[in-house]
């Protein structure tokens, strides 16, 4: 048997992997599959869904960069790189980045550390391609705490996109019900949701695709509503208690 819950015991961190195609177009996506797999030479691996534009470009160009995200990374940034396609959106128009010596873009927004990698091995592992290669550049960007996937799920109440290596078929991510919608409040505040302070339950709408929480529509979201993070319509939202 395969108990999908077992996979949740695997810890990982959130990163943005980026690459540039032969025509100079920048692409990138959020991953939780950046792993150091050798110390000498320092070697990293990433797994990318075969259907991702970023996988196609990394395979063609043989290079990628990766930025480890800090806990301050916003759902806007994660949603932009995690839930939208580089084939449809210029993700770099809405974030801070710089270009490495080899021309590969590198996201600096909310970055803790970054790496530049030359791909030496590509392994077909089913839904994903595993890219492995030596690190040619490594740099610390800030002293922020790296964002673990568990933090993303429980504090930001983020969801796992279907193309992620850890996608579990869309089951609930196990986010605690009483977590406040504002991640800053969860980290810096008392930890007590505003609803508890007033004694009255508060309700909101949560996107079942990306986890975005919308407040202020007690009678339901309008028909033309679109999730600001992933673009999903109102039918993809469910009512939650804050
Ligand atoms: Fe969404």
Residue 232 has pLDDT above 80, yes or no: yes
Q: How far is the CA of 79 from the centre of ligand 1 (A)?
A: 8
Handedness of CA 107, 112, 116, 121 (dihedral sign): negative
Q: How far is the CA of 100 from the centre of ligand 1 (A)?
A: 31
Q: What is the pTM of this model?
A: 0.78
R_g over Cα of the chain: 19
Q: How far is the CA of 172 from the centre of ligand 1 (A)?
A: 15
% pLDDT > 90, the chain: 55
Compute the distance between CA of residue 117 and CA of residue 138 in angstroms, rounded to an integer: 9
Q: What is the pLDDT of residue 197?
A: 52
pLDDT tens digits for 144-198? 999 998 898 888 778 788 788 887 766 444 333 333 333 333 222 233 334 445 5
Which residues lie closer than 8 Å to 128 by C-beta, 6 or more apart? Answer: 33, 47, 48, 49, 50, 55, 165
Compute the distance between CA of residue 22 and CA of residue 207 in angstroms, rounded to an integer: 36
Q: How far is the CA of 236 from the centre of ligand 1 (A)?
A: 8
Compute the distance between CA of residue 52 and CA of residue 87 in angstroms, rounded to an integer: 9
Strand partners, 148: 13
């Amino acid at each position: 048997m395969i108990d999908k819950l077992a996979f949740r015991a695997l810890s990982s961190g959130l990163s943005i992997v980026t690459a540039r195609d032969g025509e100079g177009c920048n692409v990138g996506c959020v991953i939780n599959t950046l792993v150091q797999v050798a110390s000498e030479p320092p070697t990293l691996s990433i797994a990318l869904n075969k259907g991702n534009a970023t996988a196609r470009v990394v395979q063609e160009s043989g290079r990628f960069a990766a930025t480890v995200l800090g806990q301050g990374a916003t759902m806007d940034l994660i949603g932009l790189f995690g839930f939208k396609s580089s084939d449809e959106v210029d993700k770099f128009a809405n974030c801070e980045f710089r270009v490495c010596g080899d021309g590969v873009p590198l996201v600096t927004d909310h970055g803790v550390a970054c790496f530049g990698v030359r791909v030496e091995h590509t392994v077909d592992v089913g839904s994903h391609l595993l890219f492995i290669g030596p690190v040619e550049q490594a740099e610390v960007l800030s002293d922020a705490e790296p964002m673990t996937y568990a933090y993303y799920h429980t504090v930001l109440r983020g969801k796992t996109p279907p193309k992620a290596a850890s996608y579990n078929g869309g089951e609930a991510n196990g986010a605690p019900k009483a977590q406040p919608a504002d991640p800053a409040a969860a980290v810096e505040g008392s930890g007590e949701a505003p609803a508890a302070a007033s004694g009255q339950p508060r309700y909101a709408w949560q996107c079942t695709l990306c986890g975005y929480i919308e407040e202020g529509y007690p009678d339901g979201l309008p028909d033309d509503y679109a999730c600001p993070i992933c673009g999903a319509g109102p039918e993809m939202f469910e009512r939650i208690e804050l």
